Amino acid sequence: MRDAETVTFGGSGLDRAAWLRGNPEELAMRRRDGSACVLPIWRGKPLFAGHSAAWVAPGHSVLETAAETPVFLGLDEGQARFAADISAWEPETGDTPPAGVFFDPTEQRHPALPDDHRFAELRGVMADLTPRDAELVATAKAILGWHRSHRFCSACGQPSAVADGGWQRRCAACGTFHFPRTDPVVIMLITHGNKTLLGRSPGWPEGMYSCLAGFVEPGEPLEAAVRREVAEETGIRVGPVRYLASQPWPYPSSLMIGCAGEAVTEEITIDPHEIEDAIWVSREDVALALSGEHPTIRRPRNGAIAGFLLANWVADRLD
């Protein structure tokens, strides 16, 4: 697909400078000499100023509660970029993030930062970021999330430590190296003639429908994952499948792999354990939903690959 990499988080050609990761002295020097900058992330919420990521100097007091050595993200125009997890910070004021909601609308402000700086859900800002900011923030959120949830060695249970500029954890007790996880998810634009198959999960906002999606299982090619997920959730059988575009999706660590699939059956039988509803929607109705004018189907969220695939399908730009 020609426009594949224009999706949000589609990559900006960031120089990840992997050769620097194994040189902790050089990384520490770049933080000390003031030439680097750091993105603080609090409990999965990056720091933003307006519609941009907000970077701070490595010695900034907001980083006092950083859990571990900052992760080295790469070189942006030669400037070293890091990300630090400051989840240990306890805000004294502001709203408490609600538990278990689809979208956390609360924002937190830190007393050591200017008033326009706030920790916020990436979902609410992602579509406005520059491609470079989007790549840096998505990378930072995903890898810091991995560190937070992988503090102990999965081989022996002992605490592990950050290594390789943040791109590994190592266990001193048993010597195992651990690498950041990326979980592949297929998300599929299933079509049958002029219609596409959309579904919704329990708990989604009213009127929200999206392309079906599911995790790829061990030992399974993408094409088989597409056919299995669609069959499990809706009973629809799918014939030819092809790759369209991919999107890193740091919620917490997925890679969304957008595929097109042609349905060979039409009758929907949903599995209520998997989804709440599934419907065939015409190209004209998808166009209305994309413009926010459909009476019952809500406009897809800006920045997510489902809306990107649907918009390209409506515009006949899947080639």
CA–centroid distance for 169 within its chain: 21
How far apart are alpha carbons 19 and 36 in whole angstroms?
17
CB of 168 to Zn ion, least distance (A): 13
Verify binding: residue 211, Zn ion, rule CB under 5 A: no
Residue with tokens 């509803």: 277
Which whole-number Å values give the CA distances from 241 to 182, 206, 280, in the listed order? 22, 30, 18
Dihedral class, residue 9 (left if φ above 0, else alpha if ψ from -120 to 50, else beta)? left
Query: Please, is 296 exposed, middle or buried when counting C-beta atoms within 10 Å of its C-beta (0-12, 13-18, 19+)?
Result: exposed
- Options 39, 84, 171, 211; binder of Zn ion; rule CB under 5 A: 171
The residue (of 112 and 174) whose beta carbon lies closer to Zn ion is 174
The conformational region for residue 211 under phi > 0 = left, psi -120 to 50 = alpha, else beta, is beta
CB of 12 or CB of 176, closer to Zn ion: 176
Site size for Zn ion, by CB under 5 A? 8
Residues 6+ apart with CB under 8 A from 257: 184, 185, 186, 187, 216, 222, 243, 246
Dist. CA 273–CA 225, nearest whole Å = 18
By rule CB under 5 A, what string of x and - marks binding of each residue 36-75 to Zn ion?
A: ----------------------------------------
Which x/- pattern, by CB under 5 A, does the window 175-204 give for Zn ion? Answer: -x----------------------------
Closest CA to 260 of 281, 276, 279, 238: 238
Distance in Å, CB of 176 to Zn ion, minimum: 5
Which residue in the set 29, 112, 174, 315 belongs to the binding site for Zn ion (CB under 5 A)?
174
d(CA 315, CA 287): 9
Q: Cβ of residue 151: shortest distance to Zn ion, in angstroms?
A: 12
Residue 319 Cβ, how far from Zn ion at the closest point, in Å?
49
Quick one: 68 or 107, whose CB is closer to Zn ion?
A: 68
Question: Minimal distance in Å, beta carbon 156 to Zn ion?
Answer: 3
Which residue, 178 or 192, is less far from Zn ion as judged by CB?
178
Q: What is the Cα–Cα distance from 246 to 305, expressed in whole angstroms?
A: 8
Angle of helix 305-314 relative to helix 283-290, nearest 10 degrees? 130
* Shortest CB 149 distance to Zn ion, Å: 16
Identify which of residues 171 and 212 has a Cβ nearer to Zn ion in the complex: 171
Nearer to Zn ion, 68 or 128 (CB): 68
- Of 139-168, binders to Zn ion (CB under 5 A) are 153, 155-156, 158
Task: Report the residue number, 105 or 159, with the smaller CB distance to Zn ion.
Answer: 159
Contact footprint for Zn ion (CB under 5 A)? 153, 155-156, 158, 171, 173-174, 176
